[in-house]
Structure 1
Amino acid sequence: MADKCDLCLLGLIILSSLLTGTSGVYDHVYISSGENVSLSCNKTLSDCKSTTWTYSNRHSEVKLIDGGIKNKDTERHERLSLESDCSLNIKNVTGEDYGYYTCRQYVNGEQQGPDADGLLHVLHVSVSPSSSSSSSSSPSSSSSSSSQTEISPGRSVTLSCQLYTVVSCYYWVYSVGVELLWVNQAGVDLKTDSRYQILSSSDQDHCIISLTTTLLNEDDNREWRCQLTLGNQLETSVRYTVKYSDPADPASETEVSVTAGSLYRVIVIIVEIAVFAAPTVILLQIICARRAGRKDSKHPEEIEMPTILE
């Protein structure tokens, strides 16, 4: 039943792209998670006050923009914005943003011009939780996003590259020609290297290609890329860089030892000064006392005498 629905949806997509005179131009957009994307609208009016953007996938349909105003009831509303040409901007795209987007403009309840339809496909890479102690990802300013995972050599790591799409993966691969690949920094397909296990699979909303390997010492800071190609054309990619974790940071240990050593030297210096200074202080006190005694003997008249009553 699901395959029949996918086939019907694919047929509607192809039909809408052919009937450009009445249904508008259908646009496929491939993007990596963490990036920003702009979906165009067929603007026919002087402003965007009568513009509506709707979103749908297999599970739901919602109005993101209604009458030029964002729908604040949606979780993604803070990441949405409307440009002066009525195009829809989505910041920091996530896997949940995949789906079908439609822009329409109305005057007095009547649609003006054709629909502007776009199908957004999102590429995302995740690491097996058992393979790493911590991970973080950050968007990149280029056509790919990157992430790093702190792990150790000798451990097995599995990276899963997923294409979130509203149409079944079977149709994308065999009918449209979409392909997912894992490549190294030089762009060589890792299927040609026996140390990597590359497996392809799919479910209702994802095309998946996973990479599994045992990490070597020389893999520190090594980069792998998951690429999405359409024919021979690269559409988007995701970088993944491995960074080995260090249980004991030598820099911090050196800093601590240097600090401790410096404190020890300061204490030693203080003790040495005290040892050498003590006899000097005592000698000065003796000299001062003797000088005071001599002064008293030379000037007896300065000694205070008791008062004699007349």
Structure 2
Amino acid sequence: MADKCHLCLLGLIILSSLLTGTSGVNDTHMFISSGENVRLPCNNHLHDCKSTTWNYNNNNSASVELIGLGIKKKNTDRDERLSLGSDCSLIITNIIKEDYGFYTCRQYVNDKQQGTDARVYLHVLHVSSSSSQTEISAGSSVTLYCQLFSYTGVSCDDWIRSEGIQLFWVNQAGVNLTKSDSRYQISAPGHCIITLTTTLLNEDDSREWRCNITQGDQVKTSVTYTVKITGEKTISSISFRPL
């Protein structure tokens, strides 16, 4: 009886591995901040990139071919920011929030696909401000919106909750800004967005507020909002901090 149980368990392990292999063993998840550059891996095993095709998809559009057999397609909304690396990876410069989605690399020889798809899920962290002006008077209230743009086939909220991913606002010392701090109003309308509202003070000159995205204890990426004060004016800017 014990031998039969061991055989059943072995069979379940083999079946599980087979199912995993057909459901995305080559999938990669990458987190990036808007404004950064990124290199998406292709897992290419061929000698050159003339066999490489890159496709793109998200929940707002049909699949788009970005690279066809090593040649960059023109007239796409991002062709000037795309290039192929020597290893056939897809390089995207100056990431914008609309770049989120999944990218698929395929290798063809004599019109026959070689190997399996290498699919990269690109998750983009973006911060925006309630003020459209570059100069804000001291004493004004400002709201910062930190949002993760993501597409995995399910809603962003459902996916990051299942993966243990969270968004946090932290100060320049890396300390979490919590709802208990009376100076900051933190709100999370959903799992994929968190806002920070505060009134800017003169002593906020060069102060940083940073939005982190974490999975467990690991910070995946972050975006920093910095205030510069000149006289009675405050000048705000958004930047990213490479990890």
TM-score computed with the length of structure 1 as normaliser: 0.65
Deviation at 1:46, TM superposition (A): 1.1
**CA 1:73–1:133 in structure 2 vs 1: closer, same or farther (change >3 Å)?**
closer
Identify, as 1 or 2, the structure richer in helix: 1
Structure 1's consecutive aligned runs of 4 or more residues displaced over 3 angstroms after TM superposition are: 15-18, 20-24, 245-248
Q: CA deviation at 1:117?
A: 0.8
2:162 counterpart of 1:175: yes
Structure 1 counterpart of 2:172? 185
Equivalent position to 1:67, from 69, 86, 103 = 69
Question: Letter of the aligned partner of 1:151 in structure 2?
Answer: I
Instruction: Check 1:165–1:81 CA distance in 2 against 1; reply closer, same or farther (3 A cut).
Output: same
| Deviation for aligned residue 1:173 | 3.5
**CA gap 1:86/1:16 in 2 versus in 1, 3 angstroms:** farther
After TM superposition, give the deviation of residue 247 of structure 1 in Å: 6.3
- DSSP-derived class of the 1:49 partner: coil
Which amino acid in the other structure matches residue 44 of structure 1?
A: H
* Alignment map for 1:1-310 (pairs within 5 Å): 19-20=20-21, 23-60=24-61, 61-129=63-131, 133-134=133-134, 150-167=135-152, 168-191=155-178, 192-202=180-190, 207-246=192-231
What residue identity is the alignment partner of 1:182?
W
Distance 1:188 1:157 in 2: 20
CA deviations over 1:170-199 (Å, ceiling 9, x no partner): 223421111000000111111142210011
CA distance in 2, matches of 1:207, 1:177: 12
Native 8 Å contact 1:52 1:66 kept in 2: yes
CA shift in 2, pair 1:175/1:21, >3 Å: closer
Aligned 8 A contact 2:137 2:232 in 1: no
Equivalent residues of 2:34, 2:95 under 8 A apart: yes
Which blocks of at least 5 consecutive residues in structure 2 are unaligned? 1-15, 234-243
Counterpart-to-counterpart distance in 2, 1:126 and 1:76: 21
Cα offset, 1:106, TM superposition? 0.6
* Partner amino acid, structure 1, of 2:186: I
Q: Is the 8 A contact 1:198 1:211 kept in 2?
A: yes
Instruction: For 1:211 and 1:161, locate their aligned partners in 2 and report how far apart those are by CA, in whole Å.
Output: 8
Conserved in 2, the CA contact under 8 Å of 1:124 and 1:161? yes
Q: Distance in 2 between matches of 1:109 and 1:16?
A: 29
- Which residue identity lines up with residue 36 of structure 1 in the other structure? N
Q: CA deviation at 1:133?
A: 2.9
Separation of aligned partners in 1, 2:143 and 2:24? 43
How far apart are the structure 2 equivalents of 1:91 and 1:171? 29
Q: Quick one: percent identity of the two aligned structures?
A: 61
Following TM superposition, by how much is the alpha carbon of 1:118 offset from its aligned partner in structure 2, in angstroms?
0.6
Retained in 1: the 8 A contact 2:33–2:124? yes
Could you tell me how far 1:124 is from its partner in structure 2?
Answer: 0.9
Q: CA deviation at 1:21?
A: 6.7
Match of 1:255 in 2: none
How many Å separate the matches in 2 of 1:121 and 1:232? 18
Q: 1:24 to 1:104 in 2, by over 3 A?
A: farther
Which structure shows the higher strand fraction? 2
CA contact (8 A) 1:42 1:115 kept: no
Deviations 1:124-169 (A, max 9, x none): 111112xx631xxxxxxxxxxxxxxx32321101011111111423
Report the AA paired with residue 183 of structure 2.
R
Q: Which has the larger radius of gyration?
A: 1
Q: CA RMSD in A?
A: 2.2
Q: 1:212 to 1:23 in 2, by over 3 A?
A: closer
Q: Distance in 1 between matches of 2:99 and 2:231?
A: 36
